[in-house]
Amino acid sequence: MSVAAAVSIPINVSFAPASKTSAGIHIATLRIKSNDPLHPNYNIPIRAFAMNGLDGGNEPSLQRLMDLWQIPDKVGDDTPDESRLPLAPKSPNDEVLLPTLVAARIGPITIQMLSAFLPDGSPAARVGFYDATTEVSTELFSIDQGSNQTTHPSLSGYTRFSPGARSFGLYVNWPLYGRSSFSEDSRNSWDTGQAHGRMLRFYPLKNTDGTIVPNAYVVGAEAISLYSDQQDVMFIIRNVRGTPLPSTLPASFAKNSPSRAISDSLVDLV
């Protein structure tokens, strides 16, 4: 095929593991040969995760998803080839506590989805933020129904927002269960398991060489009690830092579904 200057052509690549023994991370290279004298061969690395099936124990662990995305964080999982995260997590463990956050600098905060591995719902999940001292919450985007077992979920909504100078928390709402997981442990009163309310876990984003990316974190969210794989929803949030400001839970905040109102702080469509 011929590709004109400033023109692109899509190429579909099929991934078909041979058998259940192929489960895990697979690496390949798409090599493009051309008549370009400067780049006669152009190599594109391809990474994928083969699953034995969908849901539950067939899903990749949080650690294996870190490995897949080449993020050299350790989540404290001594059995990363099965989906559960030990509670309490083992050492070494790069988790940091960020119950509430603020913008690190002027400009929008961005979210990059990495994966969704959770039971399906309508939609599969909703992701948003809330003011840490009030009841005001804002949905950013939803993970579309049927996009619940993949490293590339389909989204509807916004992945950029500007909360100003206010301290805020994050939430993931689970329509199938009629409840939400919050970055502040105290708000997860529905959890009666060994996680003790820790439904959102944060890890510093690292480059492949292990250097830390400033003001960026990987977030893993959990939907259910008594079992934790912490990768029901997984994303990177950028341009944030933690805040030591305490917050209390207003009595009227204890509700299953945060407000879905779209505020004027949302600045970009997916």
What confidence tier does 268 reach under pLDDT thresholds 50, 70, 90?
very low
Domain of residue 29 covers 20-50
Distance between CA 247 and CA 148 in Å, rounded? Answer: 32
Is residue 166 a part of any domain in this protein?
Answer: yes
| Domain identity same for 97 and 174 | yes
113-168 pLDDT per residue, tens: 999 999 999 999 999 999 988 879 999 999 999 999 999 899 999 999 999 889 99
User: Rounded mean pLDDT of the chain?
Assistant: 88
| Domain identity same for 136 and 261 | yes
| Domain identity same for 44 and 170 | no
Distance between CA 34 and CA 119 in Å, rounded? Answer: 44
What's residue 133's pLDDT?
A: 83
Report whether 86 contacts 62 (CB < 8 A): no
Sheet strands (E) in 164-265:
168-174, 179-182, 200-206, 212-221, 233-238, 240-242
| Domain identity same for 24 and 114 | no
Q: Domain total for the chain?
A: 2
| Domain identity same for 117 and 194 | yes
| Domain identity same for 90 and 180 | yes
| Domain identity same for 106 and 174 | yes
